[in-house]
């Protein structure tokens, strides 16, 4: 029975994880995910060059070579991509489980796996599997780096660290901060008899390998004239100067909400706050049985310091409010939350287990629905059929609309692509079909269509590509289609001006609504009215007969 209990907890976690992943294995990515996938397919179909996997200027070859390796067998295979990343994600959960066991060695298996579930059933974690990005690779390599440092397995940390720094710029930041924090708490602070700090620092020498790998990458990049040295061609001085700026603005607030509040993560935050109040204000001492030995306290101090420093550094670079940017910090926060529970209820395992189960259940529901009242109050919501999504741009106002990639905070955004496929299957557009949408909406959300099914595809050869156009093109006189379709996407509420302009020149001859599971997408078919100022010419009788 005891052995069965040990197997039941991981079976439930991985069973739920696999069931969720199976729902989007065949879903073509959109927005940045589609852009990344197209670039990955181009890298695997061209002459082999590891530098070709540094997509969009990021030092990302380690991650995209790993995630894209099966694509060499069948380039553009979407289920193969999602399946590969899902398997790597399962591996990341196993790494996290080992970290949890290291930090809480006396925890029961059910408690350990419920802590793992906070990551494995997390809406952002699962959404990032469905939409290809470099930040998931950062998380994947970051976890074995953490384990290697905690267990003093420096070769493991060095190998994983090499992959980490060659996954994205944030990977280098996290690696350097992790090594520095480890040095402070596990080398300098943990003075042991007969083990001088110099000897322990010498043992850490393999940790320099990732730094050398990054230096080699930068040297190779500098030797390639057509490649920027850093992302978006920033100078090193610009990036360093950014670290010394600190603005208490809405962008910082939004980032803090993403990691500490959004989609019921405020539950974990409440545990930590209650623990902090009890320890600092009420001066509560650890209860009997609490693992408060020196090594345990150093581990927690290391994790806490790393979380604070990494949060500070990663929020200095202000781009977009994409939750994936902060994804590597989620496991750190869940570990601190687990420590808080043990500090509050050291001897009450049933209470800890119940609270972890509650938090896991809330996160699981949030994978499919936006029901968290705190997140809804902070961001506001917009309707997507009968459902609501967070207005992720309400705090940052980063670009027009209600959000594109910032909506990759759970799996609800996938319905945009699914309903779009319903439209394409129904209308069956060809290369002469004009399809219009909001001027900001067509950011890798449409693209080539399968010639048989007319669903979106990542395979260009033989695909059908309609004329994806904009109302502005008509206004500027670049195009004058007689018939067109206009797609009304839910994440752009300001369609009014474009539709008013079009309806002044076109008649809406048909409106179709595509609905599934409570989500809906509207499509308007429009026919151009004759210009009243255009002279009416009647063809000559002979010409008419000959025609």
Question: What is the number of H-type helices and E-type strands within the chain?
Answer: 22, 7
pLDDT at 468 over 80: yes
Which tens digit of pLDDT belongs to each residue from 469-494? Answer: 999 999 999 999 999 999 999 999 88
- Give yes or no for a contact between 519 and 489, defined as CB atoms under 8 angstroms apart: no
Label residue 223 by pLDDT band (50, 70, 90): confident
pLDDT value at position 392? 94
Label residue 460 by pLDDT band (50, 70, 90): confident
pLDDT at 288 over 50: no
- Per-residue pLDDT, averaged over 229-253, amounts to 65
pLDDT value at position 126? 98
pLDDT value at position 230? 63
Which tens digit of pLDDT belongs to each residue from 388-417? Answer: 999 999 999 887 789 899 999 999 999 999
pLDDT at 291 over 60: no
pLDDT value at position 542? 44
pLDDT at 2 over 80: no
- Per-residue pLDDT, averaged over 8-32, amounts to 96
Label residue 295 by pLDDT band (50, 70, 90): confident
**Closest Cα to residue 421, out of 516, 529, 318?**
516
| More confidently predicted of 138 and 495 | 138
DSSP string across 429-446: --TT-EEE--TTT-SSSS
Indicate the Cα dihedral angle 178, 180, 184, 188, nearest 10°: 120
Question: Strand, coil or helix: what is 51?
Answer: helix
From first CA to last CA, the distance across the chain in angstroms is 87
Tokens 């350990």: give the residue: 112
Chain centroid to Cα 211, Å, comes to 26
Token pair for 273: 């706050």
pLDDT value at position 163? 98
pLDDT value at position 351? 94
Average pLDDT of the residues of the chain: 89
- Give yes or no for a contact between 474 and 528, defined as CB atoms under 8 angstroms apart: no
Which tens digit of pLDDT belongs to each residue from 46-102? Answer: 999 999 999 998 999 999 999 999 999 999 999 999 999 999 999 999 999 999 999
Token pair for 107: 């925890």
| More confidently predicted of 295 and 121 | 121
User: What percent of the chain stands above pLDDT 70?
Assistant: 87
For residue 525, give every residue at least 6 positions away whose Cβ sits within 8 Å of its Cβ, in sequence order, or none: 483, 484, 485, 508, 509, 510, 511, 512
pLDDT at 425 over 70: yes
Tokens 């989609």: give the residue: 263
Token pair for 281: 């204000």
pLDDT value at position 398? 83
- Per-residue pLDDT, averaged over 262-283, amounts to 88
| CA contacts within 13 A on the Cβ side of 175 | 31
- Per-residue pLDDT, averaged over 208-223, amounts to 91
Opening angle at CA 182, ends 178 and 185, nearest 5: 140
| More confidently predicted of 179 and 401 | 179
453/32 Cα distance (integer angstroms): 24
pLDDT at 133 over 70: yes
pLDDT value at position 237? 55
For residue 30, give every residue at least 6 positions away whose Cβ sits within 8 Å of its Cβ, in sequence order, or none: 131, 413, 416, 417, 444, 445
Label residue 235 by pLDDT band (50, 70, 90): low
pLDDT value at position 495? 83
- Give yes or no for a contact between 331 and 310, defined as CB atoms under 8 angstroms apart: no
Whole-structure pTM over 0.95, yes or no? no
């Amino acid at each position: 029975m005891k052995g069965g209990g040990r197997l039941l907890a991981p079976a439930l976690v991985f069973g739920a994880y696999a069931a969720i992943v199976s729902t989007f294995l065949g879903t073509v990515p959109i927005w940045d995910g589609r852009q990344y996938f197209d670039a990955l397919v181009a890298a695997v179909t061209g002459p082999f060059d590891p530098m070709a996997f540094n997509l969009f200027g990021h030092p990302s070859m380690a991650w995209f070579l790993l995630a894209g390796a099966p694509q060499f067998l069948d380039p553009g295979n979407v289920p193969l991509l999602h399946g590969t990343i899902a398997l790597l994600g399962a591996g990341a959960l196993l790494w996290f489980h080992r970290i949890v066991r290291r930090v809480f060695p006396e925890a029961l298996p059910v408690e350990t796996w419920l802590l793992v579930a906070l990551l494995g059933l997390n809406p952002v974690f699962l959404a990032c599997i469905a939409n290809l990005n470099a930040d998931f690779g950062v998380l994947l390599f970051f976890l074995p780096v953490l384990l290697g440092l905690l267990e003093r397995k420096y070769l493991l940390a060095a190998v994983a660290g090499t992959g980490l720094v060659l996954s994205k710029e944030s990977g280098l930041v996290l690696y350097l901060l992790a090594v520095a924090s480890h040095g402070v708490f596990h080398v300098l602070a943990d003075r042991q008899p007969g083990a001088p700090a110099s000897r322990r620092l010498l043992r850490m020498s393999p940790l320099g390998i990732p730094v050398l790998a990054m230096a080699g990458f930068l040297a190779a990049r500098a030797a390639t004239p057509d490649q920027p040295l850093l992302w978006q061609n920033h100078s090193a001085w610009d990036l360093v100067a950014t670290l010394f700026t600190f603005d208490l603005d809405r962008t910082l607030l939004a980032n803090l909400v993403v990691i500490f509040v959004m989609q019921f993560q405020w539950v974990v935050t409440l545990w930590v706050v209650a623990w902090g109040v009890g320890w600092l204000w009420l001066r509560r001492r650890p209860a009997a049985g609490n693992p408060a030995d020196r090594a345990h306290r150093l581990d927690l101090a290391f994790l806490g310091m790393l979380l604070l420093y990494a949060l500070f550094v990663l929020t200095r670079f202000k781009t977009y409010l994409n939750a994936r940017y902060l994804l590597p910090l989620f496991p750190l926060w869940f570990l601190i939350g687990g420590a808080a529970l043990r500090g509050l209820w050291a001897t009450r395992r049933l209470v800890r287990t119940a609270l972890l189960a509650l938090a896991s259940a809330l996160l699981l529901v949030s994978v499919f629905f936006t029901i968290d009242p705190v997140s809804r109050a902070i961001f506001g919501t917009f309707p997507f059929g009968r459902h609501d999504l967070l207005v992720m741009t309400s705090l940052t106002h980063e670009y027009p609309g209600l959000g594109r990639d910032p909506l990759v905070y759970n799996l609800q955004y996938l319905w945009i692509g699914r309903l779009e496929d319903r439209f394409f299957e129904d209308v069956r557009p060809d290369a002469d079909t004009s399809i219009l949408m909001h001027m900001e909406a067509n950011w890798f959300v449409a693209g080539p269509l399968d010639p048989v099914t007319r669903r979106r595809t990542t395979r260009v050869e033989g695909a059908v590509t309609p004329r994806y156009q904009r109302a502005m093109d008509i206004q500027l006189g670049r195009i004058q289609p007689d018939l067109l379709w206009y797609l009304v996407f839910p994440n752009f509420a300001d369609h009014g001006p474009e539709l008013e302009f079009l309806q002044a020149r076109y008649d809406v001859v048909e409106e179709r609504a595509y609905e599934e599971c409570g989500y809906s997408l509207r499509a308007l078919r429009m026919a151009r009215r004759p210009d009243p100022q255009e002279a009416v010419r009647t063809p000559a009788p002979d010409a008419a007969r000959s025609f």
